[in-house]
Structure formats: C-alpha cells, structure tokens
Copies of this chain bind each other. A is one copy, B any other.
Amino acid sequence: MRSRLLQPETPLGEIGERELVRHLQSRIPLGPGVVVGVGDDAAVVELGPLTLVTADSLVEGVHFRREWSPPRLLGRKALSVNLSDIAAMAGVPRHATVSLCLPPETTLAFVDGLYDGLLERAAETGVNLVGGNLSASGNAIVVDVTLLGEAERIVRRSGARVGDLVVLTGYLGAAVAGLRLLLQGARLDEEGELVATGMWTETSAEAVAHCLRAHLDPRPPLTFARALSERDLVHAAIDVSDGLSGDLQQLCQASEVGATIDGAVVPVDRHAAGLERARGGDALSLALNGGEDYELLLAVPPDGVGALRDLAVVWNLPLTVLGEFTSGPEVLLKRGETVAPLPAAGHDHFRTLRSDPPAAGGGG
C-alpha cells in the first residue's frame, strides 16, 4: 500500500523521516550473504576471509550540482566511486550502506531517482544495499556510501618495485572534459541521453555525450580488477581518481620508488582530445591532471605484461605501458627529448574550493 503522502513532488519535510525510511526499505531487496538488511540497528552480513571497507562522499556544490546531475546518475556514481576503490585492491564488492543528508525541501522524486541509480548499479555489480542513515541538512545534499568488499588476496599501493612497468587501463581526460561541458551548459537527462550541447554544435554531439557520461556515470574496470585477484600479475594498484599525476605520485610514495612516464604514449580519450584541441587547449594536460577517470594504474613486472594483456583482451580493455618505476624518488615526465619532474597537480578539495567557491568537480 502506497501512502497518499508518497507523491513524487512531495517535499521530505511533509513526508517525514519514518515514512521515508519505510518507503526506501520496501524498495531494497535482501541479497545473498545478507543476514539482516535495512531496518534494524545495524546490518549483518557474511564476508571473508578478508573484509575490505571504503567510504566516499558526493557533496552538492563540491562534487555535483543538482541542476546538472540527474538523481539516477548521481546514485550510480555514488556507488561507482566506491566500486573503483574496491577494484583498486582487487577485491569483490559485496555490501553498501548509504548515508544521505537531505534538505527538507528535497522531493521524494529526487530520493527515488537517487535510489533508482543506486539499486541499478548495485544490481549490475552484485552489491547489496544493507542500510545506512537519513539525516536532514541545512542546504546541501550529501551522499555518503560505505562499501564493503571481500578478498582472499589483495593488491596494495605499496608493492611497486624498481623495474616494474607503469601500466594504465583505458583512456584519460573524458571526465574532466565532461565537467567543463557541464559548466558550459551541456546536459544529460535521467537516462543518460544528451539533451543540451551547451556551447557546442550538434556535430560534436557524440563527443559531448561521451564526455558527459564519463563524468556523470563513470564505469571503473571492475570485472578486470576482480580477475587480477585470482592471478599474481600485478605488484601494486591505485585507482585514478584525483588525476594521473597525483595518483602516480601516491603510488610511488606508498611504494618508496620513483617513476618515469612518456607523455607521447599517455592515452588521451579521443573525444576529449578532439574537443580540447578545437578550443586550442592541451589534451595531454587534461589526461595528466584531470581526475575522476576511475581507471586503474598498475605496477606490473615486465615478464607479466603479456599475460595481463591477454587478460585485458577478454574485457576489450585497452592497456598502455606508460613507462617504468625507478629508484626515484622523483616522478618524471618525458616529452620528446626533455625529461622533467611531473608535478602532482591533481584535485585538492580544500584548495580548489578556496579559489573557486561554488564550483563542482574533483575526485573521491
């Protein structure tokens, strides 16, 4: 029985917390390995032998804006940014809790759209939603997901060795290009279809839609990452969330090594590169410093690259050898004959906000 209060445009201030909790509970299925799902003091799950846990928030005005993030895509992304972290440990994602801070004027349609995305993405990736928390907030929506995973064997950031190759999955730069397009008025609808190209003409529609999707609905290489856990091909891994330059430095610091990568081989997303060149920009810089790509950066022993490539073919996943890990400690970028330090120019939440207060964007 659906309460007469539960109309799509009803603000939460009229529905009330308990009614909303009951409504959301009725939407969430009980999955495998879940002993107690939503609706008790805590969820109870079966996991093992190792339990992975990661948490990541999407904050309105920082990571998204309501006017450009359809709630369904926001729900998908809130889970995806956490899936990326479990993937970077070669873990299997299993159970998630969702903490929402919502201003009282938020509508039920927004919350239901958000849960459409969360439930859909959870179903795609074999994750159970097992609980969470609802709280009012003054004026900004916060979607905070904690994701539990399991593994028998994990891949850490700290395992890279001198001589290992720096290997990247996929292409870089589309997500940050998408963020720029959003700032210029380009939009996707709830279904991820292009509804406004912003300052671009219809001839760029495919590239615009591709970059918007990369920003609003990222797809980390989850099943490839899961396959890594079953093989001993990779010494270290990190997900590229803050930008290649920053995340490579993180990996190097954790492993106490340096790295040299070749700018000429950095795989820039072709749509992002096309748009960037059209506006006279530097596509490589987009790929080095953009952030939110949610690809994997791996340290691979040279004799393991062949087997890794064979594996990636199964998922049609491009792999690029960017360079190699060195005794360091510097992270260097080769551009033609020049080799120079690569500054970690990735996203910094507190600094970005200071210089650009009401903007949005930035890795998890």
Contact = CB atoms under 8 A, between A and B. Distances in A.
Contacts of A52: 42-44
Contacts of A125: none
Q: Bin the interface of chain A by size.
A: 35 or more
Number of this chain's copies in the assembly equals 2
Contacts of A144: 55, 57, 99, 133, 142, 144
Given A13-B350, A104-B350, A154 B44 contact: yes
A59 B53 CA distance: 22
Contacts of A358: 138
A339 interface: no
Contacts of A131: 53-55
Interface string A334-353: 00000000001001111111
A102 interface: yes
A254 interface: yes
B36 A350 contact: no
Residue with the greatest number of chain B CB neighbours at <10 A, chosen from A42, A56, A133, A144: A42
A38 to B, nearest CB: 11
A152 to B, nearest CB: 11
A215 interface: no
8 contacts: A47-B48, A57-B133, A59-B101, A59-B136, A99-B99, A104-B354, A133-B144, A148-B148
Interface stretch (A87-95, A169-177, A196-204, A306-314): A87-95
B348 A40 contact: no
Contact of A45 (B51, B98, B136): B51
Contact of A137 (B62, B133, B148, B238): B62
B135 A36 contact: no
A280 interface: no
A356 to B, nearest CB: 11
A138 B135 contact: no
Contact of A348 (B18, B50, B130, B148): B18
A257 interface: no
Contacts of A44: 50-53, 89, 151, 154
Residue with the greatest number of chain B CB neighbours at <10 A, chosen from A13, A46, A350: A350
A46 B49 contact: yes
A120 interface: no
A270 interface: no
A149 interface: yes
A306 B217 CA distance: 57
A39 interface: yes
Given A42-B91, A48-B47, A104-B353, A55 B146 contact: yes
